[in-house]
């Protein structure tokens, strides 16, 4: 049978409503209405005789131009409508005849067999004969597999009517089974008809009759598979499951909200998704209702033809109108209001919209004009009108498809071409886009739409790429740059050539966690694309050496897990070079790279004369020197410009923000000011110190860093600079206590809070991609402590240290008479309690085998002597973290405001899961989490990666107004020069070992170190978990006696001996009563 594609047409009557009185068959070979009768009485005997006769009838009908005679059709109709027990055999034979004609004669009598569907589904529930039921089911199956793919609209009204709950369950199952068959044989026309079918089928999935429920679920699954939308296809099982089980609606809406749509949304996916959204509005969750509104608002923008959305407006608009009035969250009401306005705009467009759907009257006129007439009967011509209408509604534009589809139904090739030409002028005309003149080979020219489920990024925009051209892709954070490149690489962009025609490689430093233990060469060879391309180990090694891996101690066999950010990017470049790509899609190719390596990347890209590059970078110098073409994302469109970035800015002055380190949109990023530290009155007082530290990694024989001495205070503004792999991150790890030096000492003020945004900080949030940023922060700090705090070697006990902590400790006890006795008790743990007695902290300890009533406070000096130094640091860290947590209650509103302060709008901060965020947005989440507890020192390792110029400017402003200390590792010279008067220069000496050389503006540093601490947040009250405000009573202070001063001096000297920080501030000699 000819298989075309799908679409609706007009509805036709299936059989006359007037009952034909059957008193016998017409005589053989009698002529009625000039058609020969072929029905014989044997067929109505049923059984084997009926089956043989049915086959003979089908053979005769096949040779007829117009199928069966009207008398034969009337006879079959009459007997199928009989319901008495005595005519059961005749009904069975009639069903066999229809089935045989459908499967053997096919197109000759299809216009007649499709008209008998209503009677066949009724026979599926024949109460007198199982043979009739089986024959009817077989006839429907034969008709469903043999009929035209565009004949669905001829049988659909009868099938939907048979699904009425008033019908017998066998009739309902028969109709459902035929729809399932049509979905497999005619997916295109089934997809077009989904809007009519899905509402009926979904009402039957939970029918009380198990047979109906099973058939309905199977039918729903199969008809939804006809949806030709690559973005929706992976979610069809989830959408179907949520339609059946409403408990799954919330999760399904969440998944749909984080889906990237790159194809225009038509009526087919809307037919499946709209009922789910209506279910979402019925749940209690405000967040789910809000997500439904967002999805409606944005998906409706992706509908090209408003007529596709029209059937869903009567249900969606009342649901949105109710939500925008009744939802408790004011912000959610606003979102619902925007979605409602969007649907109202579609409603307004429909008033003046010219329909692109086929009209039966017009199509019938064109069929007549095209010359579809004798020898084609009037009934068959009506069926041809149905087929033509479906071809139009299914947007089948290929002329040969029309010839192939209509030819078997008596339509000549000339007439089929005439019909195609006439319908194309009415329905398929599309104005062509202007061609860009260029001699270079055109690699792609495609028109597409791109969106997240919760945000439209690009709409009906065009992309042209030429061979050898270098394109700079510009756009702010959240504009869709990375999403566009990833969608191209995943073959999700309509019209973009597939990988079999065009080798397209997306270059990003995407180290896969489970493969990070591999050597670099094996890591590349494990890539499926490398394996598919048959790349040899020799070629991979040659590429690794060409990008610099030959300089490393273990060369191309260096383990991936030991690579710094710069080397990881070079690894990604080497992998891309192996694939010999036609198009390189490069997302921040110079991230983590020093000046020399950036230069190398520039030279390499310029040497690729026949390779097209699309580059996203915040390095304006790189774009200016490499790119001769600019693609700018503006107002949901791609604007292409010939020329470099400087020339582009000259014609587009608003693009100057790409050159300026300031926010062009007026956005201001704010960091919370650091909390108050008792005794720290000047900004120059050290909070962290390293003295003569040397560290060697376990796998190396030579130290990575040696003899490093630095200190950090509230006044610090330090840039740590140096080439890739020299040891900058290692020095920071020593300073923060993540690793322990083999030589030297490291000290941190016990009350200082330090925020460390590591180079590979994404690994924290990668474990929580199903949470929103707001949920993630509330989970991370819900008990006051930071659950994601790094596992530091300075807080992890060795076996020897653990053994020492188990030894008994000597305590002196006094009785009521003042007599002193000594006891040996073993300390089980430090409870976390801490108090300050004069100038020294004491910590609460619990003893082995004793209850909490026996707990005692013990001085830090004694506990350090007994081996509990790391325990003290853990308690200090927790106390400091909890002190920061007191300042702002951990509520959804407060976290939302905090996220907005670092540049993450509530749409992404509170209502979007982190798995759907861009790289720039994830950086903001990491920064927000680091700043939640009001740190006194912020250490940023490559903070400028993934941030656009606007966000960089806002970050610079936040750092300038921040009253705490800042240490940053960055290769962005413009950024660190503008912010950091101090420099820690890490460079290797002649012996190959890195050392630190501290430089800076001496006058600035002296002035800053003398400044008083004025902006530190000192709490007067706190809010507990129940919202109660508790006033903080500050301790009174008194001057020390002569005896206490001597004791304080002794403690001071002990601190100096241990390398700890001391202060000469007057307030240091005053203690609380």
- Report the alpha-carbon angle 771-774-780, nearest 5: 75
Q: What is the pLDDT of residues 193-218, one digit of tens each?
A: 998 999 999 999 999 999 999 999 99
Percent of the chain clearing pLDDT 90 (strictly above): 15
* Res. 510: pLDDT tops 70: no
Q: Of all helices (H) and strands (E), which one includes residue 261?
A: strand 260-261
What's the pLDDT band for 18 if we cut at 50, 70, 90?
A: very low
How confident is the model at residue 492, as a pLDDT? 83
Lowest mean pLDDT of 183-187, 429-433, 469-473, name the range: 429-433
Tell me if 266 sits within 8 A of 232, measured CB to CB.
no
CA distance 499 to 502: 5
Tell me if 234 sits within 8 A of 247, measured CB to CB.
no
Q: Identify which has the larger pLDDT, 453 or 580.
A: 580
Strands 754-757 and 937-941 turn out to be parallel
Among the residues of 792-866, which ranges form H helices? 799-805, 860-865
What's the pLDDT band for 133 if we cut at 50, 70, 90?
A: very high
How confident is the model at residue 27, as a pLDDT? 46
CA distance 930 to 773: 13
How confident is the model at residue 143, as a pLDDT? 92
* 267-282 vs 249-257: helix crossing angle, rounded to 10: 130
* Res. 48: pLDDT tops 90: no
What's the pLDDT band for 549 if we cut at 50, 70, 90?
A: confident
CA distance 351 to 836: 77
CA distance 372 to 415: 7
What's the pLDDT band for 1066 if we cut at 50, 70, 90?
A: very low
* Res. 932: pLDDT tops 70: yes
* Res. 26: pLDDT tops 80: no
How confident is the model at residue 216, as a pLDDT? 94
What's the pLDDT band for 957 if we cut at 50, 70, 90?
A: confident
Q: Of all helices (H) and strands (E), which one includes residue 166?
A: none
Q: Where are the beta strands (DSSP E) in 891-993?
A: 937-941, 965-969, 982-988
How confident is the model at residue 431, as a pLDDT? 40
How confident is the model at residue 516, as a pLDDT? 63
> In 3D, which of 901, 1001, 884, 992 has the Cα closest to residue 936?
884
How confident is the model at residue 220, as a pLDDT? 93
> In 3D, which of 705, 794, 708, 796 has the Cα closest to residue 756?
794
Lowest mean pLDDT of 284-293, 668-677, 964-973, 1030-1039, name the range: 1030-1039
Residue 775: CB partners within 8 Å, gap ≥ 6?
none
What's the pLDDT band for 136 if we cut at 50, 70, 90?
A: very high
Please compute the mean of the pLDDT values over residues 767-777 and round it to a whole number: 88
Please compute the mean of the pLDDT values over residues 408-423 and round it to a whole number: 88
Tell me if 837 sits within 8 A of 860, measured CB to CB.
no
Q: Where are the beta strands (DSSP E) in 467-582?
A: 470-474, 504-507
What's the pLDDT band for 181 if we cut at 50, 70, 90?
A: very high
How confident is the model at residue 592, as a pLDDT? 63
* Res. 100: pLDDT tops 70: yes
**Residue that the structure tokens 């325990």 belong to:** 871
How confident is the model at residue 472, as a pLDDT? 92
Q: What is the pLDDT of residues 616-672, one digit of tens each?
A: 887 788 888 899 999 998 877 888 888 888 888 888 877 776 656 565 556 678 888
What's the pLDDT band for 482 if we cut at 50, 70, 90?
A: confident
> In 3D, which of 791, 790, 784, 765 has the Cα closest to residue 776?
765
**Mean pLDDT over all residues of the chain?**
81
How confident is the model at residue 470, as a pLDDT? 92
Integer-rounded Cα radius of gyration of the chain: 39
Q: Of all helices (H) and strands (E), which one includes residue 810?
A: strand 809-814
Tell me if 686 sits within 8 A of 1056, measured CB to CB.
no
Look up residue 931 and give its two tokens: 């700043």
Strands 965-969 and 717-721 turn out to be parallel
How confident is the model at residue 319, as a pLDDT? 92
Q: What is the pLDDT of residues 374-405, one digit of tens each?
A: 667 888 888 999 999 999 988 888 889 999 99
Percent of the chain clearing pLDDT 70 (strictly above): 83
Q: What is the pLDDT of residues 698-739, one digit of tens each?
A: 777 788 888 888 889 888 888 888 877 788 888 888 888 888
Please compute the mean of the pLDDT values over residues 343-370 and round it to a whole number: 86
Q: Identify which has the larger pLDDT, 514 or 303.
A: 303
Look up residue 400 and give its two tokens: 């040969």
How confident is the model at residue 661, as a pLDDT? 58
- Report the DSSP beta bridge partners of residue 717: 966
The torsion angle over the Cα atoms of residues 549, 555, 558 and 563, rounded to 10 degrees, is -30
Give the range with max mean pLDDT: 313-322, 374-383, 792-801, 900-909. Answer: 313-322
Q: What is the DSSP letter of 527?
A: S
Residue 913 buriedness (CB in 10 A; 0-12 / 13-18 / 19+)? buried
Helix, strand, or coil here: 982?
Answer: strand
How confident is the model at residue 67, as a pLDDT? 85
Q: What is the pLDDT of residues 297-324, one digit of tens each?
A: 877 877 778 888 888 889 999 999 999 8
Residue 90 buriedness (CB in 10 A; 0-12 / 13-18 / 19+)? buried
Residue 210 CB neighbour total at 10 angstroms: 9
Give the range with max mean pLDDT: 565-579, 613-627, 869-883. Answer: 613-627
Please compute the mean of the pLDDT values over residues 907-935 and round it to a whole number: 85
> In 3D, which of 348, 332, 339 has the Cα closest to residue 299?
339
* Res. 760: pLDDT tops 60: yes
């Amino acid at each position: 049978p000819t298989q075309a594609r799908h679409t609706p047409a007009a509805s036709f009557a299936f059989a006359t409503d007037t009952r034909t009185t059957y008193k016998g068959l017409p005589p053989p070979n009698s002529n009625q209405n000039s058609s020969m009768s072929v029905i014989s009485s044997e067929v109505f005997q049923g059984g084997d005789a009926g089956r043989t006769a049915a086959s003979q009838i089908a053979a005769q009908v096949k040779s007829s131009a117009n199928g069966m005679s009207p008398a034969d059709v009337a006879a079959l109709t009459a007997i199928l409508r009989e319901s008495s027990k005595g005519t059961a055999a005749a009904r069975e034979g009639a069903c066999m005849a229809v089935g045989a004609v459908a499967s053997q004669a096919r197109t000759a009598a299809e216009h007649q067999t499709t008209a008998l569907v209503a009677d066949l589904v009724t026979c599926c529930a024949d109460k007198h004969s199982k043979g009739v039921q089986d024959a009817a089911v077989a006839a429907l199956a034969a008709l469903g597999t043999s009929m035209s793919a565009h004949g669905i609209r001829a049988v659909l009204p009868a099938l939907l009517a048979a699904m009425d709950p008033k019908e017998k369950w066998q009739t309902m199952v028969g109709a459902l089974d035929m729809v399932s068959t049509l979905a497999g044989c005619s997916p295109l026309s089934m997809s077009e008809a989904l809007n009519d079918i899905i509402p009926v089928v979904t009402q039957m999935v939970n029918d009380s009759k198990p047979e109906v429920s099973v058939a309905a679920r199977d039918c729903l699954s199969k008809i939804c598979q006809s949806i030709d939308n690559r973005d929706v296809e992976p979610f069809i099982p989830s959408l179907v499951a949520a339609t059946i089980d409403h408990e799954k609606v919330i999760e399904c809406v969440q998944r749909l909200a984080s889906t990237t749509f790159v194809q225009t949304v038509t009526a087919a996916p809307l037919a499946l998704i709209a009922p789910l959204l209506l279910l979402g509005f019925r749940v209690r969750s405000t967040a789910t209702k809000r997500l439904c509104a967002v999805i409606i608002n944005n998906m409706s923008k992706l509908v090209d033809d408003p007529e596709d959305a029209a059937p869903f407006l009567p249900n969606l608009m009342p649901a949105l109108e109710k939500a925008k009035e009744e939802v408790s969250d004011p912000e959610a009401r606003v979102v619902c209001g925007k979605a409602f306005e969007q649907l109202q705009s579609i409603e307004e467009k429909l008033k003046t919209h010219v329909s692109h759907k086929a009209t039966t009257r017009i199509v019938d006129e064109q069929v007549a004009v095209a010359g579809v007439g004798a020898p084609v009967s009037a009934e068959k011509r009506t069926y041809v009108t149905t087929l033509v209408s479906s071809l139009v509604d299914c947007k089948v534009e290929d002329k040969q498809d029309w010839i192939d589809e209509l030819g078997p139904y008596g339509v000549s090739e000339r007439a089929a071409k005439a019909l195609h030409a006439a319908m194309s002028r009415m329905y398929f005309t599309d104005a062509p886009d202007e061609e860009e003149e260029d001699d270079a080979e055109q690699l792609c020219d495609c028109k597409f739409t791109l969106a997240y489920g919760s945000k439209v990024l690009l709409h009906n925009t065009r992309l042209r790429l030429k061979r050898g051209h270098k394109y700079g892709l510009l756009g702010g954070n959240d504009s869709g740059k990375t999403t566009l490149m990833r969608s191209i690489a995943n073959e999700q962009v309509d019209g973009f050539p597939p990988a079999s025609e065009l080798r397209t490689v997306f270059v990003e430093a995407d180290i896969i966690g489970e493969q990070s233990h591999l050597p670099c060469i094996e890591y590349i060879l494990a890539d499926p694309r490398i394996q598919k391309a048959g790349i040899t180990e020799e070629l991979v090694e040659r590429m690794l050496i060409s990008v610099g891996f030959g300089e490393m101690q273990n060369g191309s066999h260096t383990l991936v897990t030991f690579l710094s950010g710069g080397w990881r990017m070079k690894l990604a470049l080497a992998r891309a070079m192996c694939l010999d790509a036609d198009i390189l899609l490069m997302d921040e190719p110079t991230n983590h790279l020093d000046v020399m390596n950036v230069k190398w990347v520039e030279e390499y890209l310029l040497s690729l004369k026949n390779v097209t590059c699309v580059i996203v970078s915040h390095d304006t110098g790189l774009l200016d020197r490499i790119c001769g073409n600019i693609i700018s994302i503006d107002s949901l469109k791609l604007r292409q410009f010939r020329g470099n970035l400087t020339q582009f800015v000259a014609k587009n002055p608003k693009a100057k923000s790409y050159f300026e380190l300031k926010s062009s949109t007026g956005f201001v990023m704010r960091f919370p000011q650091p909390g108050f530290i008792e005794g720290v009155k000047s900004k120059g007082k050290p909070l962290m110190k390293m003295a003569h530290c040397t560290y060697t990694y376990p796998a190396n024989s030579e130290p990575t860093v040696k003899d490093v001495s630095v200190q950090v205070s509230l006044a610090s503004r330090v840039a740590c600079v140096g080439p890739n792999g020299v040891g900058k991150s290692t020095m920071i790890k020593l300073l923060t206590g993540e690793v322990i030096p083999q030589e030297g000492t490291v000290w941190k003020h016990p009350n200082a809070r330090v925020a460390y945004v590591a180079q590979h900080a994404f690994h924290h949030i990668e474990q929580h991609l199903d949470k929103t940023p707001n949920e993630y922060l509330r989970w991370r700090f819900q008990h006051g402590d930071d659950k994601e705090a790094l596992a530091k070697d300075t807080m992890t006990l060795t076996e020897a240290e653990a053994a020492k902590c188990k030894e008994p400790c000597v305590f002196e006890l006094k009785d009521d008479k003042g007599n002193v006795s000594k006891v040996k008790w073993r300390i089980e743990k430090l409870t976390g309690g801490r108090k300050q007695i004069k100038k020294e902290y004491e910590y609460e300890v619990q003893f082995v085998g004793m209850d909490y009533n026996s707990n005692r406070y013990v001085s830090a000096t004694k506990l350090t002597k007994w081996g509990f130094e790391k325990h003290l640091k853990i308690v200090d860290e927790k106390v400091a973290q909890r002190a920061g947590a007191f300042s702002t209650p951990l509520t959804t509103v407060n976290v939302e405001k905090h996220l907005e302060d670092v540049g993450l709008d509530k749409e992404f901060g509170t209502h979007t899961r982190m798995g759907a965020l861009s790289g720039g947005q994830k950086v903001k989440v990491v920064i927000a989490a680091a700043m939640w507890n009001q740190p006194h020192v912020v250490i940023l390792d490559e903070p400028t990666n993934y941030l656009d110029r606007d966000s960089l400017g806002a970050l610079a402003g936040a750092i300038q107004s921040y009253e705490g200390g800042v240490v940053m590792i960055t290769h962005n010279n413009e950024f660190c020069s503008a912010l950091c008067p101090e420099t820690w220069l890490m460079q290797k000496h002649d012996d190959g070992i890195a050392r630190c050389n501290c430089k800076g503006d001496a006058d600035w540093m002296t002035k800053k170190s003398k400044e008083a601490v004025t902006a530190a947040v000192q709490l007067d009250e706190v809010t507990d978990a129940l919202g109660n405000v508790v006033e903080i009573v500050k301790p009174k202070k008194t001057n020390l006696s002569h005896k206490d001063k001597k004791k304080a001096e002794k403690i001071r000297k002990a601190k100096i001996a241990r390398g700890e920080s001391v202060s000469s501030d007057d307030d240091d000699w005053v203690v609380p009563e």
